[in-house]
């Protein structure tokens, strides 16, 4: 484990904040860190840029992190896991806080001259973060307060998937399962990549708490899996 000092805390809404570190961590989009919030637990969080994580308060540790202050110290292990595979024509599909690793991927691909379309869904407009920072994006909200009224899977159904080299997805399990079924029906599972957020403890392949039905460890063989690598139940 190594320690870094927090440089800045950017509040996106009541429950979500980006925690910027004082230095960059050599890493690729899709990789995650084990973040030790002193006095609380150690939790896995995706990098949302080379020097940040973006976290939603859902329990004690994430709440403490969202409320942390510049100059606070946190402990890190990593980066761990298999990253996304870059492409020149990308469709990014995000649900809720699943946008965190995909924001890093978006910026990485844009810097390399790729064409990127972002489809981002959330409960309401205030849960949509970074809306002005994507080059080309469409939005969905459950209550219709921004963009398409309905869920992200319904919105993706209206898109011609044949023109994309890769499709990258991260978000809640029901959304990922809906996309998995849609891509299977449309015969594009081979170009889809899913980032999974299964419960983790060690982050390095030893404890078995993140293992999928087919034996793959999300922390080592993932967290990014190609659609064709995923078991029926994931
Ligand atoms: C590879 C990976 C990357 C992740 N990246 C991010 C990220 O970028 N931003 C972010 O906000 N969160 C991310 N998560 C989820 C994050 O790790 C959990 O929200 C966190 O561990 C919750 O800790 P807690 O102590 O605050 O809450 P707990 O008290 O541990 O849990 C609060 C509630 O959240 C549920 N929960 C806890 N962990 C998970 C999980 N992994 N999946 C689904 N539900 C869970 C619990 O069942 C409980 O209902 C990621 C998880 C993984 C495995
Ligand atoms: S978290 Fe321990 S094996 Fe994956």
pLDDT tens digits for 62-96? 999 999 999 999 999 999 999 999 999 999 999 99
The CATH architecture to which 89-195 belongs is 3-Layer(aba) Sandwich (3.40)
What is the C-alpha radius of gyration for the chain, rounded to an integer number of angstroms?
A: 17
Distance 59 CA to ligand 1 centre (A): 8
Provide CATH 3.40.50.80 ranges for the chain: 89-195
Report the separation in Å between the CA atom of 208 and the middle of ligand 2, taken as the mean of its atom positions.
5
Ligand 2 site, CB within 6 A: 200-203, 205-210, 217, 219
User: What local confidence, expressed as pLDDT, does residue 63 receive?
Assistant: 97
Q: What is the pLDDT of residue 102?
A: 98
Q: What is the pLDDT of residue 232?
A: 81
The residue whose C-alpha atom lies closest to atom 9 belonging to ligand 1 is: 55
Residue with CA nearest ligand 1 atom 24? 59
Residue range(s) of every CATH 2.40.30.10 domain in the chain? 2-79
Domain 2-79 has CATH 3.40.50.2300: no
CA of 228 to the centre of ligand 1 (A): 25
Contact assessment for residue 231 and residue 213, using Cβ atoms and an 8 Å cutoff: yes
Ligand 1 atom index nearest CA of 63? 26
Distance linking the first and last C-alpha atoms of the chain = 30
Q: What is the mean pLDDT of the chain?
A: 96
- What is this structure's pTM? 0.96
Supply the DSSP symbol for 186: T
Cα–Cα dist 221/119, whole Å: 26
pLDDT in tens, 196-215: 998 999 999 999 999 999 99
């Amino acid at each position: 484990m190594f320690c870094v000092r927090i440089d800045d805390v950017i509040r996106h809404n009541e429950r979500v904040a980006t925690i910027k570190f004082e230095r960059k961590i050599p890493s690729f989009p899709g990789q995650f860190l084990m973040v030790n919030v002193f006095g609380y637990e150690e939790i896995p969080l995706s990098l949302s840029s080379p020097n940040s994580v973006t976290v939603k308060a859902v329990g004690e540790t994430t709440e403490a992190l969202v409320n942390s202050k510049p100059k606070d110290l946190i402990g890190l292990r990593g980066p761990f896991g298999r990253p996304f595979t870059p492409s020149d024509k990308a469709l990014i599909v995000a649900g809720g806080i699943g946008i965190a690793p995909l924001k890093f991927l978006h910026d990485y691909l844009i810097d390399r001259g790729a064409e990127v379309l972002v489809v981002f869904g959330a409960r309401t407009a205030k849960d949509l973060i970074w809306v002005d920072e994507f080059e080309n994006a469409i939005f969905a909200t459950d209550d219709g307060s921004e963009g398409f009224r309905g869920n992200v899977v319904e919105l993706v159904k209206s898109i011609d998937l044949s023109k994309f080299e890769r499709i990258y997805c991260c978000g809640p399990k029901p959304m990922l399962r809906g996309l998995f079924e849609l891509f299977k029906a449309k015969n594009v599972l081979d170009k889809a990549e899913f980032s999974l957020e299964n419960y983790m403890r060690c982050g390095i392949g030893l404890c078995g708490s993140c293992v999928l039905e087919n034996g793959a460890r999300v922390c080592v063989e993932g967290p990014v899996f190609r659609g064709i690598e995923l078991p029926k139940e994931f």
